[in-house]
């Protein structure tokens, strides 16, 4: 079927994907915009997985200050080339990540960054609380699993709900950006400071 330029434009604005990718997605979805969006998202996840092994050493260190200097964030976001590193889409993504960090105070970039002793400590807290609440021993492992999952959702940046769209995680936002730009992108590290915080607060 013939795909209108207007439809391609709408899909491009919604996803940031290339013109040919948008046209292919619409052809595959018989001109259904919602199905085309899903098609591109799925394709984006597959592409992101393929690109995740490629070296990303270019990029930007994004600085963000919030509340008249009451909160400051520094985040390093890497890509593969200087060309992409200078692009508006990449810079906007880095800025969004800095905003996310300022708003939600994550502690780790990814799950693997959580030290084993921290997970063990959180597990003991969950077990103790469940027993104090009088929960049966048989269901305590499930309660602990739920508690640890919530802990990761709160403190791991990639697992957090995106502040502008809570139906999407930061990891999904990252994968969409990888699909749109065609390069591996890595959120390398970050620091967040709040006025009056001491180092013991971390």
- Assigned CATH topology for domain 58-110+156-201: Tetrahydropterin Synthase; Chain A (3.30.479)
CA distances from 33 to 81, 96, 162, 182 (A): 32, 26, 23, 22
End-to-end CA distance of the chain: 57
Q: Which CATH architecture has domain 5-51?
A: Orthogonal Bundle (1.10)
For 67, phi and psi rounded to 5 degrees?
65, 50
pTM of the model: 0.69
Residue of 29 and 153 predicted with greater confidence: 153
pLDDT at 202 over 50: no
The DSSP secondary-structure symbol of 182 reads T
Q: Report the pLDDT averaged over residues 7-22.
A: 75
Q: Is 11 helix (H, G, I), strand (E, B) or coil?
A: helix
* Least confident piece of the model among 21-35, 144-158, 181-195: 21-35
pLDDT at 47: 54
Q: Is 54 exposed, middle or buried (CB count within 10 Å of its CB: 0-12, 13-18, 19+)?
A: exposed
pLDDT of residue 6 exceeding 60, the answer is: yes
Residue 200 has pLDDT above 50, yes or no: no
Q: Where are the domains of the chain?
A: 5-51, 58-110+156-201, 115-154
CA 85 to centroid of chain Cα atoms: 18
pLDDT of residue 52: 54
Q: Distance between CA 44 and CA 38 in Å, rounded?
A: 10
Check whether 77 has a pLDDT greater than 70: yes
Mean pLDDT over each residue of the chain, to the nearest integer: 87
CA–CA distance, 100 with 92 (Å, rounded to integer): 12
**CATH classification number, 115-154, choose in 1.10.286, 2.60.40, 1.10.10, 1.10.4160:** 1.10.286
């Amino acid at each position: 079927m013939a795909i209108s330029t207007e439809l391609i434009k709408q899909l491009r604005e919604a996803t940031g994907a290339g013109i040919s990718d948008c046209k292919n997605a619409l052809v595959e979805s018989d001109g259904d915009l919602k199905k085309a969006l899903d098609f591109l998202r799925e394709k984006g996840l597959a592409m992101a997985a393929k690109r995740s092994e490629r070296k990303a050493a270019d990029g930007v260190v994004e600085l963000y200050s919030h509340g008249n200097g009451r909160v400051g964030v520094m985040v390093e976001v890497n890509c593969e080339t200087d060309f992409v590193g200078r692009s508006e889409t990449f810079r906007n993504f880095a800025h969004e990540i800095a905003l996310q960090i300022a708003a939600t105070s994550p502690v780790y970039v990814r799950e693997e960054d959580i030290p084993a002793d921290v997970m063990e400590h959180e597990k003991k807290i969950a077990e103790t609380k469940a027993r104090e609440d009088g929960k049966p021993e048989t269901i305590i492992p499930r309660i602990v699993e739920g508690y640890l999952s919530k802990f990761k959702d709160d403190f791991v940046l990639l697992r957090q709900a995106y502040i502008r769209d809570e139906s999407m995680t930061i990891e999904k936002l990252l994968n969409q950006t990888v699909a749109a730009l065609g390069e591996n992108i890595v959120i390398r590290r970050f620091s967040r400071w709040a006025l009056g915080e001491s180092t013991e607060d971390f």
